[in-house]
Amino acid sequence: MESADKNIQEGDLQDRVIKEYHSDLGVTAPQVVRLPGFRMQSGYELPEMDVSYLTLGQLSARKDNVVLVCHALSGDAHVAGLHPRTGRPGWWDFHVGPGKAVDTNRFYVICANVLGGCGGSTGPSSINPATGKPYGTEFPPVTIRDMVRAQVALLDYLGIEKIFCAIGGSMGGMQALVWATDYPERIHTCVPIATCMAHSAMQIAFNEIGRQAIMTDPHWHGGFYYDKPTRPEHGLAVARMVGHVTYLSEYSMHKKFGRNLQRPPQPEDLFPEFFSVESYLQHQGESFVKRFDPNSYLYITKALDRFDLLENRPVREVFKPVKARFLVISFESDWLYPPAQSRELVKHLKRSNLQVTYLNLNTPYGHDSFLIKNPEFSRAVSQFLAVVYRNMLNK
């Protein structure tokens, strides 16, 4: 267990038990709504779609204070507060809550599990109404735009016509960008964090390693493993281990682990040295498989790799209808989504005469910098949202 006052320097709160952790939000429970037929970008029509979502704060009388938090690959709707079943904090509890970066005293926060996920929204593990069995790999390919359109359907159901802000890191940043370009009349502010307009070859390569680890696991069974006694957990664990390395930085790994040994050699060890970093990665993999579906990992990483904000269209055409104001944030030590990708986005936004503030924060903890306790990051988001919201109200 980790102490609650320790400055945790790698993300995902969902994969740890933190001793005596306190959330100002208390226990928070996502809910699920079933929506009618949903046509996907591929042309496939889902006969019905479940969307798991969590709301925090109070919706203003004018419904003008909605902040949509978009989650990354391993996230879900439980953005903040303590989970009613596990007691673990939401994945962004450091930054969402009363007086925090996304202040629930001011904003009405909505977070929905993405389409294709496994946190309550429809995905490969969901029951196909036509067969009465889980979709498995018969589930249609999912795109980032499909995820956003599912969020739009949820907001329509909730009677919310416009959001004040879409914010998210990594894959969440991609969703926020699609909100700005595809639904310009429905969004006021966009905060993409540690993200890109399209994956590079290196980003695709790391995801492919993870997918191959899952698909070559003998328990994968072509994606139809739900009625089997064992899932492809080893493959998913390896995929998570590879991914987790990319979320950190050389500095953070050296500082936390160095070449420290986890324990003295044991007689049964194949090799005498068992490094702390090896133990850590194994723990990350073992924790992840308890809460994530291998097929969802395949589908979501492929959606990431297929994402292209421009989709072969001229830059001017894509950004011409955009009306949102932007805060773009990157991290100097992030080698998975390097600052150069954010600067490319900022360049196009400025050339399109859009209002944009760009911050490249010199935090040493890699891609996970947006998930950890990070006062500089939290302060920047808090001040930006407060100023822009106040200016909007004063117009």
Task: In the chain, count H helices and then E strands.
Answer: 10, 14
Strands 187-193, 163-169: pairing is parallel
In 278-345 the beta strands, taken as DSSP E runs, fall at: 325-331
The whole-angstrom separation of Cα 364 and Cα 99 is: 25
- Look at phi and psi of residue 208 and say left if phi exceeds 0, alpha if psi is from -120 to 50, else beta: alpha
Q: Is 15 part of the annotated catalytic residue set?
A: no
Q: Which of 52, 121, 125, 170 does the annotation list as catalytic?
A: 170
Furthest-apart CA pair in the chain: how many Å? 72
- HSE-up of 318 (CA within 13 Å, CB side)? 17
Tokens of 65: 């204070």
Q: Which of 71, 199, 244, 367 does the annotation list as catalytic?
A: 367
* DSSP letters for 161-201: --EEEEEEETHHHHHHHHHHHH-GGGEEEEEEES--SB--H
Q: Is 188 part of the annotated catalytic residue set?
A: no
Cβ burial 170-200 (10 Å sphere, 16+ → b, else e) = bbbbbbbbbbbbbbeebbbbbbbbbbbbbbe
Cα Rg for the chain, rounded, in angstroms? 21
Tokens of 32: 């699920």
Q: Which of 305, 334, 348, 368 does the annotation list as catalytic?
A: 334
Residue 338 phi/psi, 5-degree rounding, is -65, 155
Q: Is 170 part of the annotated catalytic residue set?
A: yes
Tokens of 73: 């690959």
Cα 270 → chain centroid: 37
Name the residues annotated as catalytic: 170, 334, 367
